[in-house]
Amino acid sequence: MVIEYFKSMVCPRCINVTRELAKLKQEYPQLEIKFIEIITNMAYAQEQGVKGIPFLRIGEAKLGGKIIPGHKVREFVLSNMNKV
């Protein structure tokens, strides 16, 4: 399963999401996480409907918001794990 994670190295709100994804990757090594730096990939982010960061996409499922708590990241990933 591929998770597209749109973020920025200057985004303080992305830190919690990054940490939770790292934990999930340890638990589920089969996860493939594509870290997409929004500053250098703005056109692609716009094509994908990214309106703000942090933003996650698994297939057609999307999760975004100003602040995404770790438990919401976990719920999103686990609920979409078998759909893709």
The span from the CA of 84 to the CA of 79, in Å, is: 10
- The model carries a pTM of 0.92
Instruction: Say what the pLDDT of residue 84 is.
Output: 55
Q: What share of the chain is helix, strand, coil (3-state, %, to 5)?
A: 35, 25, 40
pLDDT in tens, the chain (84 residues): 899 999 999 999 999 999 999 999 999 999 999 999 999 999 999 999 999 999 999 999 999 988 999 999 999 999 998 775
The domain total for the chain is 1
Instruction: Say what the pLDDT of residue 1 is.
Output: 86
Angle between helices 70-80 and 14-27 (to 10 degrees): 50
Instruction: Return the CATH number at 34.
Output: 3.40.30.10
Q: What is the DSSP letter of 84?
A: -
- CB under 8 Å to 46, separation ≥6 — which residues? none
Structural domain harbouring 73? 2-80
